[in-house]
Structure 1
Amino acid sequence: MKSSSEFMQNWRLLLATFIGISVGVSSIYFYSIGLFMKPIAAEFGWTRADSSLGALVGTSCAALMVIPTGWLVDRFGSARVAFVCLACLAASFFALGLFTVDLTSYLIIISVMSMLTAGSTPLPFTRLVIVAFEKNRGKALGLILTGTGTGAILLPKLLAPYIAEHGWRSGYFALGTVVLISIPVIWLLLRGAKDTEISTEKERFSAVSLFNTRRFYHLCLIFFLTAVAVLGTVAHFFSMLTDSGLTPPQAGAVASLIGVSVIAGRLITGVLLDRFSAAYITAGLFLVASVGLLTLGLGGPAYAKLGAIITGLAIGSEVDLISFLVGRLFVRKVYGVAYGAVYAVFLVGGAIGPYIAGRLFDMTGDYSSWLYTASASLLIASLLSLFIPVKHTEQSPMTAKAVA
C-alpha cells in the first residue's frame, strides 16, 4: 500500500519534474544543436567544425557549473534554482535568435547561456524526487528522466520542418516560447512540494578526499570516453542524414528514433540494474553501442535507423548508470559531489566529441572516420567497465572512514 501511495501522493511532483527535464537545457537545447548546425553555417559561411564550437564551448561552460549548482541547490532549494535557470534558458534562446551576427557573438551567447542554465539540468529535479520517494525511488527517477527523450522525439519531427520553412532565428524564438510557457505550469504543480535539505559544512568538507580514490578516476575515464563517442555522434546525426540526401522532415523522422530509444534505455537499464551486476550491464551496453556505430560507419545511411536506436540506448542510460554506480561505490554523504564531478567530466567529453567529429568531417568530407573513432572509444569504455569494483548484491564497498 505504501508503495503505491508514494505515486498517488506525489503525482504532481512527478509531472512537474518530468516537464522540467523535458524543457531543460539537457533536453531541449542538446537535442536541437544538430538541427541548427547546417542552417547557421550556411548563412555565415562557417565550416562544420566552426558550427560545432557551440557544443564545445557550451558544454565546457556547463561542466564548470555542475558542482557550484549543486551547492546552490543545497543552499536555496531545488525549485528556486530550477525556476531561475529555466527563465535564463528562455531568455538565452531569444538572444540567440536576436543577437547572433557572427561566430564570436554566437559563442558568447552560448557560453553565458550554459553557465546560467546548469540548474535546468536533471540535477534539481532528481533531488526533489529523491526527497519525496523512498520505496519507489528508482522507478520514479526512471520515469522523470524519460523527459530527456521527449526532446529527442519531438524536436526533429516538429522543429526541423519549422526551421526549414521559417529560418533558424524563428526556431530559437519557438524554443524560448516553449520554455517560457512551461515555467508557470511547473510552478503550479510544485506548490507545497518538500524541497531538499541543506547539507552541513562537515559533509561538504569530507568530499575533498573523494579525489584521492582510484575508483573515482576509473568512472570518470569510462564516462568521458562514452560522452565523446555518443554525444559527438548525436550532435552531428541530423547532418549525417541530410548529407546522405534526406530532406529535413525525413531526417527529422529518423533522428526522432533516438528519443524513443532514449526512453526505452532509461526504463530497461533500471530493470536490469536491479537484477544483474552493474559492471556487466555497463560493459554490455557500451559494447552494443560500439558495434552499432561501427555498423553505421561501414553501412552508411542504409543503417541510419539502427544507428539512431543504438545511439539512443546509450544516451538513454548514462545518467542512470552514473547515479547507480556513484551510489554503490561511494558513501551517501559524498554522493552529491561525486555525482557532480563525474557528470562534469561527462560533459567535458560531450563538449569535445562534437568538435572532433566536425574536424574529421572537414578533413575527410564524410563522417566515416568519426564513426570508427567513436566506436573504438566505446569499445575501450566497455572493457574498462568490466573492472568496476561493484557487485549486484554488495553494499557500497567504500566505508565512511575511507572518505572521511
Structure 2
Amino acid sequence: MASGSTHLDSARGWVTACGAALSVMAAFGTIYSFNAFAKSMADEFGTGHGPISLVFGITVFLFFGSALVSGRLYDRFGIAPLLIVGGAMFCGGLFAMSQISVLWHGYVLFGVGLGFGGGLFNAPLFALTAMWFVRHRAVAQGIVATGSGLGTMLFAPLAQWLLEVYGWRGGMKALAVVAAGIFAVALFMIKRPPKMDMGDAKRHVSLVVRTAPFWQMAAAGVFFTVAVIGSLGSVVTFAQDDGVPPRAAVALFTIIGFTSIVGRMALTSLARPLGSVRLLKIAFFGLPVAYAVWYTTTRVSSLEAKFVLLIVFASILGVSYGGFVALLGEVTAHLFGLVGIGAVMGMLFFTSGTGALIGPPLMGFTADATGGIGLSIAISGVIAAVGVVVLLPMTRHPIPLPTYVGPPGAPPAPSRPGPLAPSHAVEMPAQVVGAASNGERPERLAAEMSRPQSEALRGAPPKVFWPVLADSVEDRNGAAVPVTVADLARSN
C-alpha cells in the first residue's frame, strides 16, 4: 500500500467506508427480509406470531450481541479474517435455513448463521471506519450506517418478489448467493486504517465502563432495540393482519429503509455544527412520536386512512432509527476516544442485542395473547419514552479520561515542530484536550477537566496519547512529508 494512501480522511478511507456500507447493506437487508417470509413460514409450520418472531429476535440478538467478542477480535486481528469467516457463516446459515423441516432448527441455523456470523463483522466495520477519519468521521459513519437503510429498502421488495416466484425456501437460497457476492466485493474495498500508537487500550476500556455516559448509552440502547427491532420484526405481519395487502405492507418496510437513509445523512451532516450527542438525543426522541402515530392506526376503520398513518409512522421511525444508528459510532469516539474503540463499541452493541432478543417475541406473544396489536404497540411506545428519559441528561462533552484519544481540539504546539518518528505517540498533559470539534466549547471541557477525578481515575498515568500516523504522507508533487502535531491540530 502506498504511503500516500494511508492518511486519515483520504480517498482510501472513503473507499473503505463504501465497502463497509456494502457489507452492512447485505447483512441488515438479508436479516430484515425475514419479514417478507415470516407469514408464509408461520402458515407452513402452523404457528402464531410469537414462535416465528422468536427466530428474528434470536438472530438480531446474536447479530448485535456477538459484538462483545468481535470488537476485541477486531482490535487484535483486523477486519479481513472476521469478514471472511463471518460472511461464510452468514451465507451458509441462510442456505441451510431453506432446508429446515421443523421451526426450532431455524432458531439455530438462522440465529447462529446470520446472527453470530453477521455480528462478527458488523460492529468492527463501524470501528474500522471511525479510525480512518478525523474531520469527516460523522459523515463516514453515516455512509456505513446508510448500508442498513439501503438493505432495508432494497432487500424487502426483492425478498417479496423472490417469495412470489420461488417460495420462501427458494427465496432464501437466492438471497444467500446475492449476499455472498456483495461480501466478496466489499472484501477487496476494505483496507486497514493507518497504524496508531494508542497507549494502554485495556486500561482505557476499563475506565470507560466505569463512567455514567457509557451506562446511559448502554441502557438507552436496550430500550431502543426493544422498541425498534420489535417493530421491524412485526410491522409487515401486523399490517397484513390489519387488512393491508401484502405488497403494500412490504412497501412500509421499504419506506423505513428510505427514510432511515435520509435520517442518517441529514443528521450526520449536522454533527459538526450542532454536536453529535445533541442530535443522538433528538433522533431518539422521535421514537415515542412514531409509536403514538402507529397506535392511532388501530383506532381508524378506513383502510385508506390507516395506510396513510402507517406511512407517517414508517417515515418517523425510519428517520429516528437511521439517525441513532449512524450517530452511535461518532458519539462513542467523541465521548470516549479511539483507544480500544472496537471493544467499547462491541460492549454497546452487546447491550443493544439484549433488547433485540426481547422486542420481537414481546410484541409477537403479546399480540397472540390479546388477539390484537394495540397493546404491543403501546408497550413499545412506553419503552421508547423510557429510553429518552435515560439518554436526555447525558453529557455532550468528551469524558476527561487520562488515556483519552479522540478528536483533538487545538492543542498548543510550536509553530513548526520537527518531524515525528513513525509509529510513536506524542504525549501531552491531559489539560490540553479540547473539544472544538463536534460543536463543543473547549472552555467548558477545561472546567470539566479541572474537577477532581473519581476514585476510579486516581493513580492513572496523567497522559493523553494523540495518534500519529505510522507512515509519512505525500504532498501534491509526490514528495514525502512527515506528519506533525500541528498537522493533527489543523485537521480539526
Q: Identify whether the pair has TM-score above 0.5, normalized to the shorter chain.
A: yes
**TM-score (norm. length: structure 1):** 0.89
1:146-196 per-position Cα deviation (integer Å, ceiling 9, x unaligned) = 111111111222211321332111121011010122233223334xx3347
Which one-letter code corresponds to 2:84 in the other structure? F
Contact kept in structure 2, 1:78 and 1:127, CA below 8 Å: no
Q: CA deviation at 1:340?
A: 1.6
Alpha-carbon distance in 1 for matches of 2:339, 2:202: 8
- Which blocks of at least 5 consecutive residues in structure 2 are unaligned? 299-305, 398-438, 461-492
1:71-97 per-position Cα deviation (integer Å, ceiling 9, x unaligned) = 221222112211221121111110100
Alpha-carbon distance in 2 for matches of 1:94, 1:139: 35
Q: Is 1:170 matched up with 2:174?
A: no
1:387: which partner in 2?
393
Q: Which has the larger radius of gyration?
A: 2
Which one-letter code corresponds to 2:349 in the other structure? Y
Contact kept in structure 1, 2:87 and 2:117, CA below 8 Å: no
CA, structure 1 residues 160+198, in 2 after alignment: closer, same or farther (shift >3 Å)? Answer: farther
SS in 1 for 2:209: helix
1:66: which partner in 2?
67
1:320: which partner in 2?
326
2:293: which partner in 1?
295
Q: Is 1:240 matched up with 2:238?
A: yes
1:54: which partner in 2?
55
1:237-278 per-position Cα deviation (integer Å, ceiling 9, x unaligned) = 111222122332222223200111110111122133323355
Contact kept in structure 2, 1:74 and 1:196, CA below 8 Å: no
Q: Is 1:377 matched up with 2:383?
A: yes
Q: Which has the higher contact order (CA 8 A, sep 6+)?
A: 1
Sequence identity, in percent? Answer: 21
Greater shift, 39-48 or 101-110, is seen at 101-110
CA, structure 1 residues 386+12, in 2 after alignment: closer, same or farther (shift >3 Å)? Answer: closer
1:187: which partner in 2?
187
Q: CA deviation at 1:394?
A: 4.6
**TM-score (norm. length: structure 2):** 0.74
CA, structure 1 residues 402+323, in 2 after alignment: closer, same or farther (shift >3 Å)? Answer: farther
SS in 2 for 1:345: helix
Q: How many residues align?
A: 396
1:350: which partner in 2?
356
1:37: which partner in 2?
38
Alpha-carbon distance in 2 for matches of 1:199, 1:30: 37
Greater shift, 49-58 or 376-385, is seen at 376-385
Q: CA deviation at 1:210?
A: 3.2
Contact kept in structure 1, 2:56 and 2:360, CA below 8 Å: yes
Contact kept in structure 2, 1:220 and 1:345, CA below 8 Å: yes
Alpha-carbon distance in 2 for matches of 1:111, 1:157: 22
Alpha-carbon distance in 2 for matches of 1:125, 1:278: 19
CA RMSD, 1 decimal: 2.8
Which one-letter code corresponds to 1:37 in the other structure? A
1:91-102 equivalent positions in 2, closer than 5 A: 91-98=92-99, 100-102=100-102
Greater shift, 198-207 or 370-379, is seen at 198-207
Alpha-carbon distance in 2 for matches of 1:67, 1:223: 14
Which one-letter code corresponds to 1:111 in the other structure? G
1:13: which partner in 2?
16
Q: CA deviation at 1:198?
A: 8.9
Alpha-carbon distance in 2 for matches of 1:205, 1:118: 25
SS in 2 for 1:46: coil
Contact kept in structure 2, 1:79 and 1:124, CA below 8 Å: no
CA, structure 1 residues 369+197, in 2 after alignment: closer, same or farther (shift >3 Å)? Answer: farther
2:201: which partner in 1?
203
CA, structure 1 residues 12+212, in 2 after alignment: closer, same or farther (shift >3 Å)? Answer: closer
Greater shift, 213-222 or 340-349, is seen at 213-222
